[in-house]
Amino acid sequence: RKEVEQDPGPFNVPEGATVAFNCTYSNSASQSFFWYRQDCRKEPKLLMSVYSSGNEDGRFTAQLNRASQYISLLIRDSKLSDSATYLCVVGVFNKFYFGSGTKLNVKP
By CB under 8 A, name the binding residues for other proteins.
31-32, 34, 41-46, 49, 87, 89, 91-101
Residue 2 or 107: the one with the smaller Cβ distance to other proteins is 2
Least distance (Å) between residue 15 CB and other proteins = 26
Is the dihedral angle over the CA atoms 39, 5, 93, 63 positive or is it negative? positive
CB of 30 to other proteins, least distance (A): 9
Shortest distance (Å) from residue 77 CB to other proteins? 25
Smallest distance, other proteins to C-beta of residue 33, A: 10
Indicate the residue among 19 and 44 with the shorter CB distance to other proteins.
44
Q: How far apart are CA 47 and CA 37, in angstroms?
A: 6
CA distance linking residue 77 with residue 24, whole number of Å:
25
Q: Which residues pair with 85 in a beta bridge?
A: 38, 103
The C-alpha angle 101, 77, 86, rounded to 5 degrees, equals: 10
